[in-house]
């Protein structure tokens, strides 16, 4: 079984633009691998992975042009996730709907809530007085417009220092 998800990778040129945001948050664990998750699949068997790959081979979707901006946070009991929203998100939502439809034969549960975002960092707790100032400091930040040409099937291996992601398969958007 592999822990898997589908995502849109963020280009290296955008990683460089985001370097200036990696400041002012003591204890933050900055994400080295930036992507926009389209669908978390969970623990997948080899048989189900083959079916997923076969179904996604029929994906037809145009490439997407977006920016990352508008920082926000998701608060969980043991950590906070700092993210940038993907804007505009209309095409990403359409892509997610298309993917969900293609994967219906797998019987995998579909997540109902979806917010197109790129996780920047994970923080240990919500009491950080730095977090509110950080979000305000960068509230108007936006990356350059960039094209996303691939949907990628990733496997993820959880480790103490964070997850390691491996590209399993790519599906061209054109």
Q: Which of 35, 65, 140, 165 is catalytic?
A: 35
Do you know the residue count of the chain? 174
What tens-digit pLDDT sequence spans the chain (174 residues)?
999 999 999 999 999 999 999 998 888 899 998 999 999 999 999 999 999 999 999 999 999 999 999 999 998 888 899 999 999 999 999 999 999 999 999 999 888 789 999 999 998 876 567 788 899 999 999 999 999 999 999 999 988 777 899 999 999 998
Catalytic residue among 15, 65, 76, 117, which?
117
Q: Are 65 and 39 in contact (CB under 8 A)?
A: no
Number of domains forming the structure of the chain: 1
- Host domain of residue 45: 2-172
Mark whether 165 is an active-site residue.
no
Instruction: Give the CATH number of the domain where residue 152 resides.
Output: 3.90.1140.10
What's the burial of 80, exposed, middle or buried (CB within 10 Å: 0-12/13-18/19+)? buried
E strand intervals along the chain: 2-9, 29-30, 35-44, 64-75, 80-87, 117-123, 146-148, 150-159, 162-172
Strand pairing category for 117-123 and 80-87: antiparallel
Compute CA 110 distance to the chain's CA centroid, rounded to the nearest angstrom: 16
Decide if 117 is catalytic: yes
The secondary structure of 26-63 as a DSSP string is TT-EE-SS-EEEEEEEEEE-HHHHHHHHHHHTT-----
Is pTM beyond 0.85 here? Answer: yes
Q: What are the structure tokens assigned to 129, written together? A: 């007085």
The pLDDT, as a whole number, for residue 21 is 95
């Amino acid at each position: 079984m592999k822990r898997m998800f589908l995502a849109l990778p963020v280009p290296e040129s955008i990683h460089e633009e985001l370097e200036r945001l990696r400041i002012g948050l003591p204890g933050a664990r900055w994400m080295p691998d930036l992507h926009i998750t389209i669908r978390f699949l969970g623990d997948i068997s080899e048989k189900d992975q083959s079916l997923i790959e076969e179904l996604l081979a029929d994906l037809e979707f145009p490439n997407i042009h977006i920016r990352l901006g508008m920082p926000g946070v998701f608060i969980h009991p043991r950590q906070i996730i700092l993210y940038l929203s993907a804007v505009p998100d209309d095409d990403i939502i359409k892509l997610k709907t298309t993917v969900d439809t293609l994967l219906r034969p797998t019987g995998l549960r579909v997540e109902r809530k979806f917010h197109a975002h790129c996780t920047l960092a994970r923080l240990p707790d919500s009491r950080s007085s730095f977090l509110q100032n950080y979000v305000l400091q960068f509230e108007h930040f936006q990356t350059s417009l960039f094209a996303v040409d691939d949907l990628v099937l990733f496997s993820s291996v959880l480790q103490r220092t964070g997850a390691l992601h491996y590209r399993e398969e790519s599906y061209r958007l054109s």
